[in-house]
Structure 1
Amino acid sequence: MPSSAKPMSSSPAEGWFASDGLNLRFVEWGSPEKPAIVMLHGLRSYAHTWEPVALPLLDHWRIVALDQRGRGRSDWDPKGDYYTEDYVRDLEALADHLALRRFVLLGHSMGGANAFVYAARHSDRVAALVVEDMGPGASASSGGADRIRRELNETPSSFATWDEAAAFWRRIRPDISEEALQSRVTHSLKQGADGTVTWCHDAAGIARSRLSAAPGKIVDLWPHVEALQMPTLLIRGAKSDFLSAATADEMCRRNARIRRADVEGATHYVHDDNLAGFNTVLQDFLTQQRGLSTSWS
């Protein structure tokens, strides 16, 4: 496996690094000379979910998107350690591997929880934070959390055809665009030796960790939200069943560095549902940060 990604322009390249004995993959767009944004996907997603977010940013930014452990082409964890502390160690290893001294960190859902914890611990490295539809308590007690638990229990381990797999994704993500649906089919599924279509991610291991996590594995995000020292953008889907408006309001009240933006026509999967709306609020925020990026490496 290559030890690092090659320089590139608009075409992605892949790189690899080690964490906890696992080989983890990242993809990268843009010049390594530009300030970096590290992007973290959600529970059953993959690095390439960020491609339509990344491509419009390449004039000014380098984008690094991680296949978090057990997803995409990264190794599955044989111990089933798919918890916040494990993901944060992986992110620490990635930042060290790429020698990122200062960068913007963006995370969706599970990736947002990981981003909150990392940013609170590493304010010297995270210049700005963007979190897509995640907040304290959302993973435990929201309507969206109940929906995700039902989905995990009801997800088939394989499909007879690609059309059947696409129909499954459309049924459980009725609001996502056709482009986002095709991305999920392309990057979250693969054809097995027997001809059936199976998951790229460790579906069984991820479900076990999500459905039966010991209390000590569940992270209270409030202390991390309150500890943030960098400009933070909280992007919420206006139709989200996961992050409530009340929780988003309370996050902003407890930490004045957090700015909130609700994206119309979007559920919990904001950049999949309304890419244009997501990109507008993200790019506005990043434009404000660019003037501060001259000392980053």
Structure 2
Amino acid sequence: MQQPQSCFFQSHGLRLHYWDWGNAEATPLLLIHGGKDHGRSWDHLARALQSHFHVIAPDLRGHGDSDWARGGSYALPEYVYDLTRLPALADAPPAAVIGHSMGGMIAMLYAGTFPDRVDRLVVLDGVTVRPDATMAPVHERMTKWLGQLDRLEGRQPRRYPTIDDAAAQMRAHNKRLGHDLSLHLAGHGTRRNDDGSYSWKFDPYQRVTAPHRLAPSEYAELWGRIACPTLLLFAGESFIDPARAAEASRYFQNARAEIVTEAGHWLQHDRPDEVLRLISEFVELPSGC
């Protein structure tokens, strides 16, 4: 079974990591994971598509084997900047981009900022902002942010005796997650502590809500700049209301929305074959691939 190559690059003073699945002469396919996740979360999709694309799966700053940001700096535009530093995208043709959850938001910001750099865009349960929403007053956003930082100060990471214990915690949050897949995800998503226990690799500060985030209307402005065909996939049993979120397709130049039934927020794990089928059809792969 093919394994990806582990690679590093520099961005914003950070040493960041990505997984390169080879086939460097093909069109780039950028896979962007969500919060508290890592690049190896995409293995099923990457293996299925690597013969057609140059598949690149970064560990976002503060995740996987990438550095944690100094001062807990994790605003979405900073993730976009990191993508511009990826060596695999330099001097390459326009990429296909797939993002899940927070990674979907990052993918849309990237495509809206650089519409000529993206050939196809797929967002998995990632429309987490309503463009018609109202931002809280700035003093409330500042107070919320300061409070989140205070609560995280000195927080000790949770420790698990074994990787299987960490995997069991994942299955407790997603009843559809199988044993083998949970072990794979936990194996790449934890690091071993000095006492032999395991803790998650992601930086707890990445969950803090930056007070200087974009306004909802600014997201819509960027979405309107996305020129490539766009597929918005929503999970039928997500915390995101799929029917309401699908209305976001009207902000794009060329987008359609589909709801994947019998799947929660992690739809690529809950129904991997159906998600692969929809993506393969969208990027116009030959049938049976």
CA shift for structure 1 position 219: 4.8
Q: CA separation of 1:255/1:163 partners in 2, compared to 1, >3 Å: closer, same or farther? A: closer
Match of 1:146 in 2: none
Q: CA deviation at 1:178?
A: 3.1
Please state whether the residue corresponding to 1:287 is helix, strand or coil.
coil
Correspondent of 2:86 among 94, 99, 123: 94
1:123 equivalenced with 2:115 (yes/no): yes
Specify the alignment match of 1:72 in structure 2. 64
Matches within 5 A, 1:159-174: 159-174=160-175
The alpha carbon displacement at 1:258 in A equals: 0.7
Contact 1:10–1:30 under 8 Å retained in 2? no
Query: What TM-score comes out, normalization by structure 1 length?
Result: 0.82
> Percent of pairs identical after alignment?
28
1:275 aligns with 2:276: no
Please give the alpha-carbon distance, in whole angstroms, between the structure 1 residues aligned to 2:127 and 2:99: 11
Gaps of 5+ in 2: 134-147
On the 8 A contact 1:106/1:130 being kept in 2, the answer is: yes
Q: Aligned-pair distance for 1:155?
A: 10
For this pair of structures, how many residues does the alignment match? 265
Greater mean alpha carbon deviation, residues 26-35 or residues 254-263: 254-263
CA distance in 1, matches of 2:36, 2:236: 22
Shift of 1:102: 1.1
The 3-state SS of whatever aligns with 1:253 is helix
C-alpha offsets along residues 1-26 of structure 1, whole Å, 9 cap, x if unaligned? xxxxxxxx943112211110001111
Query: What is the CA deviation profile of residues 130-164 of structure 1, one whole-angstrom value per residue up to 9, with x for unaligned ones?
Result: 111011527xx9xxxxxxx9xx9999622233333
CA–CA distance in structure 2, aligned partners of residues 104 and 155 of structure 1: 39
Is the contact made by 2:16 and 2:61 (CA closer than 8 Å) also made in structure 1?
yes
SS in 2 for 1:24: strand
Counterpart of 1:224 (choices 206, 222, 225) is 222
Of 30, 38, 43 in structure 2, the residue corresponding to residue 46 of structure 1 is 38
Question: 1: CA distance between counterparts of 2:230 and 2:2?
Answer: 27
| Residue type at the aligned position of 1:244 | P
SS in 2 for 1:127: strand
8 Å CA contact 2:31, 2:99 repeated in 1: yes
Matched with 2:206 is 206
State the alpha-carbon separation in 1 of the partners of residues 195 and 90 from structure 2.
Answer: 39
- RMSD after superposition: 2.6
* 1:243 to 1:86, Cα distance in 2 relative to 1, 3 A: farther
Point out where structure 1 has 5 or more consecutive residues left out of the alignment: 1-8, 142-148, 291-297
| Secondary structure of the structure 2 residue equivalent to 1:277 | helix
For the structure 1 residues 223 and 175, does the alpha-carbon distance in structure 2 shift closer, same or farther, using more than 3 Å as the test?
farther
Name the structure 1 match of 2:177. 176
User: C-alpha displacement at 1:287, in angstroms?
Assistant: 1.3
TM-score under structure 2 normalisation? 0.84
